[in-house]
Amino acid sequence: MLLTGTIFNTICVAVGSSLGLLMGNKASSKVQTNIVTVFGLFTIAMSILMIVDINAHINVFIALTLGALLGESLSLHDRFSKFSSKLGEKDGGAFIKSTMLFCIGGMTLVGCMEEGISGDNSLIKVKSLMDLFSSFFLALALGRGILFSALSVFVIQGSLTLGFYAIGNGISDALKQDITATGGVILIALALELMGIKKFKTLDIIPALALIPIVHYIHGILTPLLASYL
């Protein structure tokens, strides 16, 4: 079954966050703050690993810039924040952060590629077990907004898997590297926000993930044309 990995991941997030909510009232505010800080630091470490193998820096930069402009013009972050505010300010914020954390990482992108293209969901299952523990500790620290992100995992991760399934093997290794690197930069913004260092409208940058294939394709066309005139 194509979405087996996504379904398993959704269940892991739901179970982990539910257990975290049951234990949440036993954790002090200092412990909760430390947990979020640790997750921020770990997210930065994972982001660096995602960016290390970047293929074309200029492609990622252009995609991020255009993505930020597009996201801002569409008010993606504000719209999503307004929607999530129905959960309450704290839970809505937790929902957004956990959605980003569970759905934008390198393991998500690469895992969805592998499941969609080759049917191999082993990486998604490894990620699912990591998310089981992550959702437990995040729910312990941030509350029930983490539980609602299980739905985000199903919708976003499932859509990515189906998208890669439709594209098939048409994605080059170079493009995979740039997609992963773009996700890594977005996760750094999320990590800084988790640690309270800088607030970003992180969702406004998300269109960059959709734009990077277009930028990559245009770059591939223009490069030989420009070379012929030099």
Q: Tens place of pLDDT for every residue, the chain, 230 residues?
A: 778 999 999 999 999 999 988 886 666 667 767 777 887 888 888 888 889 889 989 999 999 999 999 989 988 878 877 776 776 767 787 888 888 888 876 678 878 888 888 788 888 898 898 889 888 888 888 888 889 899 999 998 999 899 888 877 777 888 888 988 898 898 888 888 878 788 778 888 888 988 998 999 898 888 777 666 65
- Spatial separation of the C-alpha atoms in residues 185 and 198, rounded to whole Å: 14
Return the half-sphere exposure (C-beta side, CA atoms, 13 A cut-off) of residue 171: 22
State residue 25's pLDDT score. 63
State residue 15's pLDDT score. 95
Q: Are 6 and 156 within 8 A, CB to CB? A: no
What is the radius of gyration, based on Cα positions, of the chain? 18
- The secondary structure of residue 205, as a DSSP letter, is G
Q: Are 71 and 64 within 8 A, CB to CB? A: no
State residue 140's pLDDT score. 84
State residue 62's pLDDT score. 95
pTM comes to: 0.76
In which element (H, E) is residue 127 found?
helix 122-142
Scored b (16 or more CB within 10 A) or e, 69-102 reads ebbeeeebbeebbeebeebeeebbbbbbbbbbbb
State residue 24's pLDDT score. 67
Measure Cα distances from 189 to 38, 44, 117, 201 in Å: 15, 9, 29, 9
Return the half-sphere exposure (C-beta side, CA atoms, 13 A cut-off) of residue 131: 33
State residue 57's pLDDT score. 92
State residue 160's pLDDT score. 87
Q: Domain locations in the chain? A: 4-228
